[in-house]
Amino acid sequence: MLKTKVAPSLAGLARPDKNKSNMSSSELPRKEANVLKGHEGAVLAARFNSDGNYCLSCGKDRTIRLWNPHRGIHIKNYKSHGREVRDVHVTPDNSKLCSCGGDRQIFYWDVSTGRVIRKFRGHDGEVNAVKFNEYASVVVSAGYDRSLRAWDCRSHSTEPIQIIDSFLDTVMSVCLTKTEIIGGSVDGTVRTFDIRIGREISDDLGQPVNCISMSNDGNCILASCLDSSIRLLDRSTGELLQEYKGHACKSYKMDCCLTNSDAHVIGGSEDGSIFFWDLVDASVVSKFRAHSSVVTSVSYHPKDNCMITSSVDGSVRVWKT
Amino acid sequence: MDSDEEDYVFFGTPIEREEEITNRRKKAAAEASGNLRALPPWKQEVRDEEGRRRFHGAFTGGFSAGYFNTVGTKEGWAPQSFTSSRKNRAEVKQQSIFNFLDEDEKAELEGTLGTSSQFDTFGFTAAEHARKQADKEQKQRPSAIPGPIPDELVLPASESIGVKLLLKMGWRHGRAINDSRASSLYDARREARKALLAFASEDAKAPCPADEPVEEPESFTVQPSDDDARSSQSLPAFVCNPKQDLHGLGYDPFKHAPEFREKKRLHLLNDKQRGDRKTMSIKDSLFGSKSGKAAPGFGIGALEEYDAEDEDIYAAGYDFEETCIEDDEEPSRLGIESKQPSRLSIESKQKVVARDQGVLPGFKVASVSDYQLERFDPPVIPKDFAPHHKFPGPLETLKKLDVPSPPEVPPPDDSNLKLLIEGVAKLVARCGKLFEDLSRKKNQSNPLFSFLSGGNGHDYYERRLWEEHQKFGVQAKLLLDGKLSPSMQKMTAESRGKLLGEKPLERSSRETTSSSVASGEFQLQFNLSDTFKKPDSFSKLPEVAKPFKDDPAKQERFEQFLKEKYEGGLRSTGYTVASNMSEAARAREKLDFEAAAEAIEKGKRGKESMVSTQPLDFLASGMQFTSGGLEQVENGHAEDLVTKKMYPRREEFQWRPAPVLCKRFDLIDPFMGKPPPAPRARSKIDSLLFIPDSVKVAKPEEVAITNRDVPAAQTGAQMTIEDVAEEEIEIVAENVERPVDLYKAIFSDDSDDDVEDLNTKKVEDPEKKTEVATTALNRLIADDFLESLGKELGFEVPPDTPYSTNKANALRIETPNSDSGNAKFSTGTYLNPGNETAQDGDSQKNKSIPVRSGGYNSSKHTVGLLNMSGKVNEDKFAQEDKKVKSPSSRQRNWSSSSSSDDERSRKHSKRHRHRSSGSYSDPSSDDREHYRSRSKGKRERSSREKSSHSRKHSKHHKHRSRDSPSRSHRGSEREHSEGRKEKRKRRD
């Protein structure tokens, strides 16, 4: 109850913030606020939860960790994976987690108890990404076996309710909207599966797609390609709107995202730096060295000017203005 | 679970000889229950659970004969196949001592025999000998591994003959074989220039770009031809460090605890030099642990295999700086007294500095060195020194010409003496005074030669000598006039140039005006080198390779550089450069030039034929010249443009979300109530035809277009036209829709034993069956229908791909065959009314068998129970089985040949399941059954009508099949959409 009361006011506060960040690049989070240390080995993903108060990270040490990034506190450890954990996602109500990784399984966790509610098996290879849908009823996973699989969280069946295997190569990343499943694959395509009209739209970029992320207005897709460029696609027409270059992204799975105001594009680089591009003119607005090694993941706060980055160097860093 | 069961194939039912078993069981049970107790012990029989009598061993009141009263093995007696010994008699074997010796004894015996190295042409025995020697030595030495080392592990290091030859030819280990010219000297020069470049760079940024040209030549050498480059790289020299510990080979006790390795090493060191024991700070060694490449220790459990995918791709992230340890190590290694920590830090700092200057660790650079370079002044040249050498010989003879002539003397009377005098004079004139002296000395006593020493005829001799001299001198002069005499004169540059065939020098005004004296000098030198003839290869070059086209000045300089390079000979210390260029820039440029030149050369050497285009090509692409980069960027832009035109490319496909998914996403299933979709055209095309990508791409686009048309067609304006069109192709549309219905019909009754059902159905409504069996017309229909069905299912194949047509043909042939066979079978069963009563139960069983089975076992089993008529049938079964099998196997092949992707999708689709089930069921009967069910549905039509109708359809299909493949597919696609549209309309 309290949260719901606070939320509108926060949103109200956030609006002027947004405008500011739209206007100047000085509002970009470039100051290191906290370093979250605890992972042994590479951290493969770091994600804010839906309200941005907490964040999750997962890595090669087979654990998922829950943090309070604003205070720099480690809250909980989720251990059950047999191999490295590659991606994690939280439900909008913060009650459940899903994670996936090298053990070819998708784990469905209860956040508070830290127990695994369900394990979904069926992928024939490592699983690269997972996402909940809006109602947290379906987990969609993207795997090395060139498929997207949708798993039902409501029923007790552990069989996938849908297998999408029209991809020609590893699916690296998945995004969900209310009506669509979008997957980015190494075969160079971003495929949108529209459930409402039963159609698959494939946008071939010609370059292996490393990571896709949706713009906050839902009109664009940001696709990070392995030719060291990030491409912005118009979702309705499939048009290439812009290309962002300058960073190095050639061999690692790395994330990219947009700021919450959609004014800037953020991407990590293999040399450990973070790049900010202007969305419209694709110029590098800011660039700084955040980590000593490959930046694997970037996540932007849903409301504030805050960002978390994770790296192979084993740390998760929190950046604020 | 379904899929699991499908994998099993049941062959018939097992036979149980009931009466035997039950009898025995009963007996056993009765005896167990207590009947036996009444008997006295000696009358009691021991029986096993099957009731068979068992004999027991001595201790249990009997004997046990072998393995369950059989032979001592489970298999029992294995009958040996009989071989007649009449033809092949047992051979008398030659026995030798070796037949009776053990292995080791044989070895010993053989040990006495040896090969002599005398005839060892290829050195094998020598190698063997060396190995034995090594073995012997190994035994004498204390070895890490107790006992002799296995031969496989340790081999004597002997060089192959090739290596030996190479060594004799001057090759050394670690050196490239092909171009030894370049490597050492050339590299050294390069290094030096690099160093110069590094030092001369004024600003901090300079080293960065400087690095690039250094790297690029590498890529250059690699590019033209791979193996050439590989061979030109120097070979790595492997240095093995000897094994000194007593652990097993490859065992590293500190694998997981590298911090202890350090400690252990230090420990050993301390043991060695007992005098100065030092305390090693644990702290440092612990730091060392971080530096050791400790893998992120977690990851893989003991039972999980560690394969390639588990490799730590992020390993680079774990490299910590190791400097602090190294600093600590070195004093200890050198046995220097351990210092206090505070001093140590200072020490190490100094050492870091020292190391930079190439000073041995542990030593300091002396502030004052007693070694001084002594310099000497150059020798003083005397003022009267003339730098010309004077030749004494010829000049002397010429001088003599000036000697005044002696008076004419009449020759002596003695003609002999006269001849002698003349001869001697001639010789002396030719050979010089020395000859005169010699002959005089020799013939001192000889009165004939007295003329030499002022005796008789001396005057005449004098005169003759002078004459001879004169004569000879003139001759010499004549001779020298052409050649020799100018060399005596001062030679001018022009004359020398003329002599050597040079062009006359011309100083270009541009150069002279341009600048300083020094550069003028260079110019002169350069011009000199320019004047020499160019080698043929070089004369081609300028047209061929102009890597610096866009910078003419630079290109010019490059050409100059090339000339210098190829001319050899006169090599200027520096070459002409724009005077505003800095030293660093010049050095960098030179590196560039060298790289380019090398590339050109390589390119030429590699592909003589493609000289004109190739080198330029890869110059532009592979290399980045400091200013030549522009062109490359342009290229890149062009490429970008191309890719931008191509990408992103949008395609649309139909995709059917699962109903559950829609439910979970809280959406209405767009395909709700619709039959499961026909498999996507794309995949079908993929699997059947191997079309290149471009074609494949084109097709879905068309699909997309048609799809987009669909909603538009629904709007009012176009409706009428569409309606007309629809009416026209209504039949077609219906026809196309039929497979969908068929699918539904096939897959909706997805019961497990649908095949069996069919058979029972066969029995249940015999009038149907007889109808089928008897009316030839119906069979015809069925044939036609099957053909069309085959087409619908995607077996229809365009004629131009031979691979798939084969299969299609096979299928088309196969189906009627099996069909007719089946018909025979059915007639067979039903044209035996006399046996029907007796056969009833059996035939029932019998019918189910061939359907379930694919093999022969079951039919064998049935033989016993079948009566005569059954046997007749059974033959047919066998035939039937074979026929059924062949298409199924073909289908298997077909599916395996299709792309794996497609296969995977099919695995999960119902269609596949049915197909696989079809492999052991009888497809033809199956199909016909469905056909019948359809016909049942449309009973209002007469069979005549039906037949004609279906025939029409089949004709239509034939038409389509005659069309080009792409068209037919497109057509079917369109029809699909049309059909859907129609449906939608109906719903509306």
Nearest-neighbour CA in chain A from B830: distance (Å): 48
CB A159 within 8 A of CB A123: no
Tokens 């300079």 correspond to B206
pLDDT the model gives residue B34: 57
The reply to whether residue B647 touches residue A42, judged by beta carbons under 8 angstroms, is no
Structure tokens at B597: 């030149």
Neighbours of B526 (CB within 10 A): 20
Taking an 8 Å cut-off on Cβ atoms, the answer to whether A202 and B651 are in contact is yes
For residue A201, which residues of chain B lie inside 8 Å, CB to CB?
Answer: 650-653
A 201-260: CB under 8 A from B: 201-207, 231, 233, 237-240, 251-252
Q: Are A68 and A53 in contact (CB under 8 A)?
A: yes
Backbone phi, psi, residue A149, to 5°: -130, 140
Based on the number of CB atoms within 10 Å of its own CB, is B479 exposed (0-12), middle (13-18) or buried (19 or more)? exposed
State pTM to two decimals.
0.36
Tokens (6 digits) for B596: 């380019």
Provide the edge-to-edge strand list for the sheet that holds A240-245: A209-214, A220-225, A229-234, A240-245
Three-point CA angle B428, B396, B463, nearest 5°: 40
- What proportions of chain B, in percent to the nearest 5, are helix, strand and coil? 65, 0, 35
pLDDT in tens, A131-175: 998 888 899 999 999 899 999 988 888 888 989 988 888 999 999
Q: How many CB atoms lie within 10 A of CB A311?
A: 28
End-to-end alpha-carbon separation of chain B, Å? 41
For residue A177, what is the nearest residue in chain B, using CA coordinates?
B665
Question: Distance, in angstroms, between B841 CA and closest chain A CA?
Answer: 43
One-character DSSP codes across A102-170: TTSEEEEEETTT--EEEEEE--SS-EEEEEE-TTS-EEEEEETTS-EEEEESSSS--SEEEEE---SS-
Contact list in A for residue B314 (CB cut-off 8 A) is: 41-42, 60, 252, 293-294, 312
Whether A264 contacts A248, CB under 8 Å: no
Q: How far is B644 from chain A (nearest CA, A)?
A: 8
To the nearest whole Å, the CA of B281 is away from the closest chain A CA by 26
Q: Which residues contact B414 (CB under 8 A, 6 or more apart)?
A: none
Does A83 reach chain B within 8 Å, measured CB to CB?
yes
Q: Which residues of A touch B313 (CB under 8 A)?
A: 251-252
Task: Give the separation between CA B561 and CA B595, rounded to whole angstroms.
Answer: 12
Distance CA B429, CA B407 (A): 18
Substitution target in B647, B684, B909 with the highest count of A β-carbons within 10 Å is B647
Per-residue model confidence (pLDDT) at position A11: 37
**Which of A202, A251, A252 best probes binding to B when mutated, by most B CB atoms within 10 angstroms?**
A202
Nearest 5°: phi and psi at B350?
-60, -40
Cα(B329)–Cα(B325) distance, rounded to whole angstroms?
6
Of A60, A126, A197, Cβ closest to residue B670:
A197
Q: What is the mean pLDDT of chain A?
A: 85
3-state secondary structure B393-447: HHHHHHHHCCCCCCCCCCCCCCHHHHHHHHHHHHHHHHHCHHHHHHHHHHCCCCH
Contact B543, B621 (CB under 8 A): no
- What tokens appear for A218 in the block? 């839902």
- Please give the Cα distance from A97 to A89 (Å, whole number): 6
Q: How far is A198 from chain B (nearest CA, A)?
A: 5
Evaluate the CA torsion angle B30, B35, B37, B40 in order and state its sign. negative
Helix (H) or strand (E) holding A253: none
Contacts of A207 in chain B (CB under 8 A): 647
- Rounded CA separation B35/B56 (Å): 21
pLDDT for position B313: 60
User: What span, in angstroms and rounded, lies between the C-alpha atoms of A26 and B545?
Assistant: 50
Q: What's the pLDDT at A65?
A: 92
Across the interface, whether the CB atoms of A138 and B661 are under 8 A apart is answered yes
The Cα of A86 is separated from the nearest Cα of chain B by a number of Å equal to 13
Backbone angles phi, psi at B79, to 5 degrees: -65, 135
Q: Cβ contacts (< 8 Å) between A202 and chain B: which residues? A: 650-653
Please choose, from the candidates B452, B391, B442, B393, the residue with its C-alpha nearest in 3D space to the C-alpha of residue B420: B452
Q: What is the CA radius of gyration of chain A?
A: 18
Residue given tokens 């009165």 in the structure block: B447
Nearest Cβ partner of B660 from A82, A152, A313? A152
Backbone angles phi, psi at B574, to 5 degrees: -135, 165
Q: How many whole angstroms separate alpha carbon B876 and alpha carbon B882?
A: 10
C-alpha dist (Å) from residue B498 to B480, B494, B523: 19, 6, 21
Which of B640, B665, B668, B904 to mutate to test binding with chain A, by most A CBs within 10 Å of its CB? Answer: B665
Binding-site residues on chain B for chain A (CB distance < 8 A): 296-301, 304, 309-310, 312-314, 316-317, 643-644, 646-658, 660-662, 664-668, 670-671, 707, 901, 904-905, 908
Give me the residue from B317, B653, B662 closest to A42, CB to CB.
Answer: B317
**Alpha carbon separation from B97 to B37, B94, B103 (Å, rounded):** 66, 10, 12
Residue B595 · residue B216 · CB < 8 Å? yes
Cβ-nearest to A137 among B310, B657, B664 = B664
The verdict on a CB contact (< 8 Å) between B309 and A102 is yes
Low-confidence ranges of chain B (pLDDT < 50): 1-2, 180-182, 202-233, 275-297, 299, 316-355, 395-401, 482-488, 508-544, 568-579, 606-636, 680-740, 750-776, 796-979, 981-988
Closest CA to A36 of A7, A63, A11: A63
Q: Which residues in chain A are closer than 8 Å to B653, comparing Cβ atoms?
A: 166, 199-202
**A161 in contact with B, Cβ within 8 Å:** yes
Taking CB atoms and an 8 Å cutoff, what residues of chain B touch A133? 664-665
CB pairs under 8 A between A and B: 144
Counting as low any pLDDT under 70, the low residues of chain A are 1-26
In angstroms, what separates the C-alpha of B300 from chain A's closest C-alpha?
7
Mutant choice from B309, B639, B650, B976 vs A, greatest count of A C-beta within 10 A: B650
Residue-level pLDDT at A90: 92
Whether cis (ω within 30° of 0) applies to the bond prior to B648 is yes
The answer to whether the Cβ–Cβ distance between B314 and A126 falls below 8 Å is no
Q: How many residues does chain B have?
A: 988
> Which region holds residue A79: left if phi is over 0, alpha if psi is between -120 and 50, else beta?
beta
The reported pLDDT for the residue numbered B618 is 38
Nearest-Cα distance to chain A for B885, in Å, is 31
d(CA A261, CA B530) in angstroms, rounded, equals 68
A82 touches chain B (CB under 8 A): yes
Residue linked to tokens 């089930």: B917
Contacts of B575 (CB under 8 A, 6+ apart): B522, B526, B557, B560, B561, B564
Name the residue among A213, A235, A239, A237 with its Cα closest to residue A224.
Answer: A213
| DSSP letter, residue B59 | G
- Shortest distance between the Cα of A229 and any Cα of chain B, in A, equals 12
CA distance A58 to A255: 14
Cβ–Cβ under 8 Å, residues B784 and B816: no
User: With an 8 Å Cβ cutoff, are B655 and A133 in contact?
Assistant: no
Task: Show residues of chain B in contact with A58, CB under 8 Å.
Answer: none
Report which of B435, B420, B367, B978 is spatially closest to residue B722, judged by C-alpha positions: B978
| Distance separating alpha carbons of residues B51 and B46, to the nearest angstrom | 9
The tokens of A177 are what?
Answer: 């909207």
List Cα–Cα distances, A305 to A36, A127, A308, in angstroms.
18, 31, 10
DSSP 8-state code for residue B299: S
